[in-house]
Structure 1
């Protein structure tokens, strides 16, 4: 502060001052990432209110190159602007009403022969952009007239300069991606590495920001083989993969630098710390695809690549990279494949005599119905790939199962669905751990507040567990050690369990860092990623003393949701993740930590009244003690007819409010409109259409009125117990190191 701009050195270029007009020789495209398909009833229209959950940034020498790269960076199944399976029944509607898919509607219109002026008239998009998109569509049509053997070299080079990937071209020519790669390398078509040069050659650039382009004749940097370690980043923030994985990547890079390794980061997310200029020795703002990682590997020839820090995107690249001669550090990719492949992992668990929920991979409706009838409803359904936008779901009966599979119209031998027995009333437990050549080095066991059925990313985590039996904890640790040895794990991994009546079953195992690694590292004050990185690099570490895991405090991680921005979406939790963020709080006991976490995500202590709709009779009985605590707190209670009647039997007073469909006063919606309540507890009852509609309208109205909403019985019980034990003034404000 207080200095003239000409006196401040530009930290990126290293040669100019801050008072310098940049001159660019590249094009940057920033593209949002939406996950609207994960929400029921949500409006897909986009406008002045933000709905995206993340973004990517691509760099190229042409707009065509940059836009196609950015589409692939989104990691939503599309391979570029053209060559996808997008279908628009009403193309004019898709153009005039902007949604998250309008870019692909424009491409579809161009493919069908619409003129630039026609599309401009429907969308008001500046014609320059439509012309550029038309260049890609037109080139795609021209390329489809050739084969890999007949394509002229000049046309292949143009395709790469316009951002066509090897996979895109292989689909056009009905050959393998590797065949395209081998052919273009044979004829000398390889990308050049360029610096992000804001000086456009006027001064020497000394930046470590790099990108690759086919519109360059030479590389801007020199290479030192076997001197660096590559860390693959996490890509765009999306539901299920956010800043937690970037924390892991940054900590891995920091540890590598402490160990005096040169570091290379590959990532495409401008929001992350990992893409800051001073984090690593070289930063590639590039796609996390097999093609691009191999391109960088061919140039850099690093000592090794770490895939276990950035979540599922780099983990999926492990086996293809190994098959192409890349040295991967940590757990062997073949062992990663044993955990990722459902059949191989299930067979491994059977060999180890470790229990798992019954499941089958099915290719037709009749077999699916037979399996569900055999194991009993409810069942969990997940596609082997994304079927027409359908996500993971539960079916409570045959009608729901049939409805789901009919929507996923491409269920066949090539595209099966996996159906497993859904165990009701079970507790979910998470194990985050670090392995060293198959032995357990350090671990953290967390329990979910919610019963199984809520996605682990939406669950409220408690560490250390407060309500899990010692025998269950012992079984979890024993099973973890057996799996770690069988898969010869070196590095971070996560296992999810369900437990009921002291029976423990394994749901899945991920041989990579998980969303909860930052949380457990901070609660235990043991940096799991630092330890994992050192072990991956072959360093020996002293054993962690058992007392390090004994704590006199409790940590709680709670999810943050964005339902207010997602108009029409049903704010209910299930097996498909919906949260867009999280908080973590510490307390002297679980209720203090839980209340702090709830207040941190926007809840507040109710002062006016609470609207209750508490589900089935079984739910009502389970919630009875919490209702009595509300009565003792002196809260004014409003309840839907069934809940009010149940409460009356136990002398708990509540004012009855009617369901929205009853059209009677006083109504539940009017109760919220009249500002009588500042907390809504709505526990879904059953799957009848009337119940579903009434519950949805109450939940959605609460969100639209900005009234805190709880839809899970166990979360509601915890919240009420916490309110009974603590006021806001009772919550201790302590520094992190004051907890021991």
Structure 2
């Protein structure tokens, strides 16, 4: 909310926030600035841009290390009205049905004949009201020189250019442009109807006519560039607003999460013949970007730079600056279209994609369970069977537990009530001769069994393909020592720790790390043999217990009291990657997630922290080559943005079932489809039946 409320694209609009409780992390200080003296946590320098705020419930006691004020006090200080205890879900339905509507906040119900004096902000030139009045230069000694037309720009657009070495001159919306004074033209976002900005369109047309200087537009800038080349724009019924909207890149067909805030759109049917569509919104198929076929001009409707939003396409700034530098160097430039397609192209690993679809698949089920325990893996296995049956694939299930849904009549084509041990599974493989096997739907028991079978060469012997996440990735995430090394390769950190194999080694490791320490058994179920030790005696007892469950023990530096946060991540064989749900343990670090009270989505994380951990999650999961669903757990310092990665479960976990129930996103079902090398954008959203499953659910409710 600090970002949205200071975003000039929302100028003079009443903003409705659909999440039930707002203000949990307070408001940070506007004195916290970067090296250019720009506020770090807001979208502009002049305070709040919105006309008013409507929320379900306001938090009066925020909890965050950065807060300097409550949301209410911040608004009060700037004279911005707000109202709480409103049924925002019902209000959202009205807006959905009627489109964006005029309204006002009142103290009492108006009488029927009262003139409400509703004013339409779009009837004014909002861009003129909020644009800078004279040029401002950032990073004066930088290169190349970028002229940025300020229609209501977000500060992070300046940061994205300056971080890449550019000099940025921010000019008013109606500034008389001189092509000899800059090397690249950038057109920013802003509020209102693009038709009002005739002066900006005239200046863009002048640059297009007089030079071949590269041009890049974002949001309103996209609409203004489109208008300048002769396209039509139109007002959408509701518009697209949110941090989690999927866009398809036409050159590669890959899907990316984007941040959007627009009520107008470009009519792609009116594009001139030498232009083409660059991106399309996956759900309503509206235009999200255009590009010239040969010249260095392009624009996007979404926000690749968004402060604390998805960073999936921030490389568009690199693409633009590459074109600017190529032109300056006098080289024959590679077209922007070609450069972007090359950067976004992903070649799937041959060991992951299936050359041909299997006819018969073996599923390792949930294993022997106690009543009321770990029914989550019964859920994931059942969903996998359902997904494979839809694809007309024969399913063979091994599960010794008769009291499960997945062993019920009518689900799997054949069920073996046998223990999940390598000996029994090999006998079933020998008898059934399946083409593929799923290891990640039965929890740790099934995973460990699969790893043993692979090491023994059983899958190779019977020509059984491991579907989904490669076995090597599973081993790398389970072996704590290898995991720490692999994570370090991409500049991320796990908590300082050592892998040991005896009590003596455990005591030596603890001396090196310093007490207190946490001991954890590798490859263990439900955190067996884990706990904190404050001294040698406690560690001896813990190590003895843990080494009874596993041959490898991890001694971690104690992070007791830190927050434990986890993300459920989905990735397909073609590198489309999303985070479906994030959760926070009510208990601090040290209580196993399966035994802790969990809140989804996490409450006192700021938008910046949420997206910092989201970006890391996607980076880590891509690095390990996970295909399907997995979760990543973090320890987050409650007094800073310092974090460590605790672990990655390269399988469906207990929290996956919770996340599926919390969000309505069927993680196990989708993961099973992905194991067949089905691209994530091709899978349908199970709730709507028409939109894509390649999206990140946003909740207007809280789950405990």
Name the structure with the higher helix share: 1
> What band does the TM-score fall into relative to the shorter chain?
0.3 to 0.5
Give TM-score, length-normalised by structure 2. Answer: 0.44
Q: TM-score, length-normalised on structure 1? A: 0.42
When you count strand as a share of all residues, which structure comes out higher?
2
